[in-house]
């Protein structure tokens, strides 16, 4: 989490930063305040336009919000009179030395343009620029989708957000049609599980398994109306746990499959009345349901097709009699591929082909309804759940719960494309799988990320969020990387230091060729003080040593940067047992005060560790200085020396807290309600801090993304995902 460079030390203040902080009178003694003459010389007219810098957001970022707080600075010899951002007047308390403005956003790419004008009337219409991609809402737990080809969209149910979305089939952009606030809270969803498009009535019909209800959603307004539940129109033939449905327009009804009750029933759309078509006693017990799942209509043959994960088969149900017959099973016909856990399917009546999602095998299997033969169409999914057929584009759309994405499958070759790729930032190249730590490389305008899911070190641009592979388990040849957990930079030697938890070792990774070498492990250079699970690191330049936080040993281990030898700096025995560690999670170096600051999620404390003695002192806990804004599960910490505070990422609170280093008091600077709900924090496991811009760059391990958080306003944007 720490960058070190023994080659030089950056000055605390520069002319540029003093101009920003000091108001209007810092250019030189030859220029008077307010644009007047100076020093007895001739007055010289000010013809130079002011300058401006955007501190937040970064040059290119993304958001799922519809507005943005932009923050920056401006300077001019005569004084800055006004700053506007996209035509919105900025506010300032120091003559626009620093300023901020809240701007509205439209879906898609938004240019941010800062205009600055000085007191002499000189204007710079493009003093600073940036770009932000407004992605619209992001799904949470997609449950099902159907294609609305006439409108080039998919209609998507999200059970996590309890919402119905429309998704553009070309761009992947989402828009809310109906949720708990759209248009209101009346008849809100609880566990929406399946849907059917009723074009004639401009509505979508939704089955909610938790409410045990059939709900109609107006596609224009999003308003929800209950068509049928266990009291409407009556309690006869109640729903158990309805999950699947198809629309039978000819008979003005929907056919509902209830796996909980093992029943196929019909619901009259005029009255809401329910009637049983088929269950394990209707019309008889032959070919009984086991765990019926996916349901499609085959009205040409007056039947529906059902995949059943209980008996690993596809069966047909006659709509006139309710009789069940096997269409394709693992012994009918025998041979591969077999069904293991078929959960959904879609039918092309013209070709008599049915495509089946098999969740356990992460594949799509096509079944020829004439011959009952099966073959694999596409595999390599993560957790496929639902499927639909996009006839116009000759592709399947598969909902993958593991990827939390809609995957388009080309039927000509089985290849995959993420329909939601537009929600990747800036693209899908070199994806983050399980990012675990981050190091700041301001000299190259990037961060380096240790990704233990990809077994990789990935460079992420601070300019546009683009990701580039530095090294992984097979690149370059001979790489030692197995499970990189922690990372720090050694810029003087143009290398990264990586803590690998599979090897229980520290590795060096060359930043030019990605080549890795062993620095320290259980036998290198000796067996003394071997690692348990090295997780985080900082560099103590004065002692030329790497301080390693070991989450198994609950200790700080000092590692000689030259020979890799290890000594215990602080543990629950060293120097004593006072203020012991419980689950130390993150740390940051405070050289000015000769200490390391550690957040411990087990005891919910911020602990100072003396770099000389290893003695531990509690700086902030949920009792000290008081119980205001208590820690939940503090995991990461960065130092903001200019403001005498640290910023702490808290997993349980899903928030960034500021902790005053004088009195230990805590304040929330950013959470999922402040300053707004855009770009949520889920698990801010690690972060780094750009003190000049006052921004934290945060790795969210649960959402597999990197956020930038404004440490002054709390606003959040997505840098890379």
| pLDDT of the residue at 418 | 77
pLDDT at 39 over 90: no
pLDDT at 195 over 60: yes
214-222, Cβ contacts within 8 angstroms, sequence gap of 24 or more: 214/242, 214/245, 214/254, 214/256, 214/267, 214/272, 215/187, 215/189, 217/164, 217/177, 217/178, 219/177, 221/183, 222/164, 222/176, 222/177, 222/178, 222/179, 222/182, 222/183
Q: Answer whether residue 366 is part of any domain.
A: no
Domain boundary at 134, 151, 166, which?
134
Tally of domains within the chain: 2
pLDDT at 3 over 90: no
| pLDDT 10s digits, 408-443 | 999 999 888 877 544 678 988 899 999 999 999 999
Confidence band of 236 (pLDDT split at 50, 70, 90): very high
pLDDT at 141 over 90: no
| pLDDT of the residue at 140 | 72
Task: Provide the b/e sequence for 463-486 (b: ≥16 CB within 10 Å).
Answer: ebbbbeebbbeeeeeebbbebbbb
Q: Answer whether residue 213 is part of any domain.
A: no
Domain boundary at 99, 134, 169, which?
134
Q: Answer whether residue 541 is part of any domain.
A: yes
| pLDDT 10s digits, 473-516 | 999 999 999 999 999 999 999 999 999 999 999 999 999 999 99
pTM across the whole model: 0.74
| pLDDT of the residue at 145 | 86
| pLDDT 10s digits, 43-98 | 678 899 999 999 999 999 999 999 999 999 999 999 999 999 999 999 999 999 99
| pLDDT of the residue at 260 | 87
Q: Answer whether residue 189 is part of any domain.
A: no
Q: Answer whether residue 178 is part of any domain.
A: no
pLDDT at 26 over 80: no
Q: What is the CATH number of the domain that holds 8?
A: 2.60.40.10
* Average pLDDT, rounded, for the chain: 91
pLDDT at 317 over 50: yes
| pLDDT 10s digits, 531-544 | 999 999 999 999 99
pLDDT at 128 over 90: yes
Q: Which residues pair with 560 in a beta bridge?
A: 545
| pLDDT 10s digits, 449-468 | 999 999 999 999 999 999 99
564/530 Cα distance (integer angstroms)? 11
Q: Answer whether residue 548 is part of any domain.
A: yes
pLDDT at 38 over 80: no
| Greatest mean pLDDT among 348-352, 527-531, 673-677 | 527-531
| pLDDT of the residue at 423 | 61
Question: What would the two tokens of residue 414 be?
Answer: 């089985």
Task: Provide the b/e sequence for 161-199 (b: ≥16 CB within 10 Å).
Answer: bbbbbbbbbeebbbebbbbeebeeeebbbebbbbbbbbe
Of the listed ranges 42-51, 227-236, 418-427, 623-632, the least confidently predicted one is: 418-427
Report, as an integer, the average pLDDT of 259-276: 96
DSSP 232: B
Q: Answer whether residue 328 is part of any domain.
A: no
pLDDT at 10 over 70: no
CB atoms inside a 10 Å sphere around CB 216: 18
Omega cis (within 30) before 625: yes
| pLDDT of the residue at 43 | 67
Question: In which domain, by residue range, is 107 found?
Answer: 3-134
Number of helices and strands in the chain (H, E): 1, 57
Q: Answer whether residue 164 is part of any domain.
A: no
Q: What is the CATH number of the domain that holds 544?
A: 2.120.10.30
Domain boundary at 74, 107, 134, which?
134
SS3 88: strand
pLDDT at 16 over 60: no
């Amino acid at each position: 989490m720490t960058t070190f460079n023994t080659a030089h030390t950056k000055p605390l203040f520069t002319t540029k930063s003093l101009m920003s902080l000091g108001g209007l009178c810092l250019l030189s003694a030859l220029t008077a305040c307010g644009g007047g003459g100076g020093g007895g010389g001739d007055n010289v007219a000010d013809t130079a336009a002011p300058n401006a810098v955007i501190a937040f957001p970064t040059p290119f970022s993304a958001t799922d919000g519809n507005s943005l707080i932009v923050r920056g600075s401006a300077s001019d010899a005569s004084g800055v009179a006004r700053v506007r951002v996209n035509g919105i007047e900025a506010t300032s308390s120091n003559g626009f030395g620093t300023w901020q403005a809240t701007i509205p956003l439209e879906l898609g790419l938004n240019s941010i343009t800062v205009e600055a004008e000085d007191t002499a009337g000189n204007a710079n219409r493009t003093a600073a620029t940036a770009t932000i991609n407004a992605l619209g809402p992001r799904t949470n737990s997609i449950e099902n989708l159907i294609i609305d080809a006439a409108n080039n969209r998919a209609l998507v149910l999200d059970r996590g957000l309890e919402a119905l979305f429309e998704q553009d089939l070309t761009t992947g952009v989402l828009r809310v049609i109906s949720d708990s606030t759209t248009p209101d809270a009346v008849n809100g969803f609880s566990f929406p599980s399946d849907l059917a498009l009723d074009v004639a009535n401009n509505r979508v019909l939704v089955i909610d398994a938790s409410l045990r209800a059939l709900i109609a959603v107006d596609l224009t307004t999003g308003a929800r109306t209950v068509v049928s539940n266990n009291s409407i129109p009556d309690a006869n033939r109640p729903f158990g746990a309805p999950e699947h449905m198809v629309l039978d327009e000819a008979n003005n009804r929907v056919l509902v499959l209830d796996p909980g009750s093992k029943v196929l029933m019909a619901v009259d759309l005029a009255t809401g009345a329910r009637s049983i078509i088929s269950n394990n006693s209707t019309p008889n017990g032959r070919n009984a349901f086991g765990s019926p799942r996916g349901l499609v209509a085959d009205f040409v043959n007056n039947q529906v097709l059902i995949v059943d994960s209980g008996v690993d088969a596809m069966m047909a149900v006659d709509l006139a009699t309710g009789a069940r017959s096997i269409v394709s099973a693992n012994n009918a016909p025998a041979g591969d591929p077999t069904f293991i856990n078929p959960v959904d399917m879609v039918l092309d009546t013209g070709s008599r082909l049915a495509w089946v999602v098999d969740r356990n095998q992460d594949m799509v299997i096509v079944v020829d309804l004439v011959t009952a033969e099966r073959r694999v169409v596409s595999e390599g999914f993560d957790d496929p759940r639902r499927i639909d057929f996009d006839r116009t584009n000759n592709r399947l759309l598969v909902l993958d719960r593991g990827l939390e994405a809609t995957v388009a499958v080309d039927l000509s070759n089985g290849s995959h494309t993420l329909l939601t790729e537009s929600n990747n930032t800036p693209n899908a190249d070199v994806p983050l799988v399980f990012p675990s730590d981050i190091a700041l490389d301001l000299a190259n305008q990037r961060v380096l990320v240790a990704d233990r899911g990809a077994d990789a070190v990935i460079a992420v641009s601070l300019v546009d969020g683009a990701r580039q592979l530095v090294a992984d388990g097979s690149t370059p040849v001979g790489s030692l990387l197995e499970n990189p957990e922690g990372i720090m930079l050694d810029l003087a030697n143009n290398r990264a230091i990586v803590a690998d938890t599979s090897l229980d070792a520290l590795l060096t990774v060359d930043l030019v060729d990605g080549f890795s070498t062993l620095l320290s492990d259980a036998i290198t250079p000796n067996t003394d003080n071997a690692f348990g699970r090295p997780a985080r690191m900082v560099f103590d330049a004065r002692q030329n040593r790497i301080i390693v936080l070991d989450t198994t040993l609950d200790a700080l281990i000092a590692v000689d940067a030259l020979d890799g030898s290890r000594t215990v700096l602080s543990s629950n025995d060293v120097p004593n047992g006072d203020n012991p560690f419980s689950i130390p999670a993150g740390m940051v170096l405070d050289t000015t005060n000769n200490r390391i600051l550690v957040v411990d999620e087990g005891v919910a404390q911020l602990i100072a560790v003396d770099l000389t003695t290893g003695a531990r002192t509690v700086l902030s806990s949920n009792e000290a200085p008081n119980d205001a804004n208590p820690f939940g599960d503090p995991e990461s910490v960065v130092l903001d020396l200019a403001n005498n505070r640290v910023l702490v990422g808290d997993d349980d609170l899903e928030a960034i807290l500021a902790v005053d280093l004088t009195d230990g008091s805590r304040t929330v600077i950013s959470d999922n309600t402040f300053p707004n709900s855009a770009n949520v924090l889920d698990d801010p496991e690690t972060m780094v801090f750009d003190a000049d811009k006052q921004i934290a760059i945060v790795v969210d391990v649960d959402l597999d993304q990197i956020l930038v958080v404004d440490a002054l306003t709390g606003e959040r944007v997505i840098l890379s995902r």
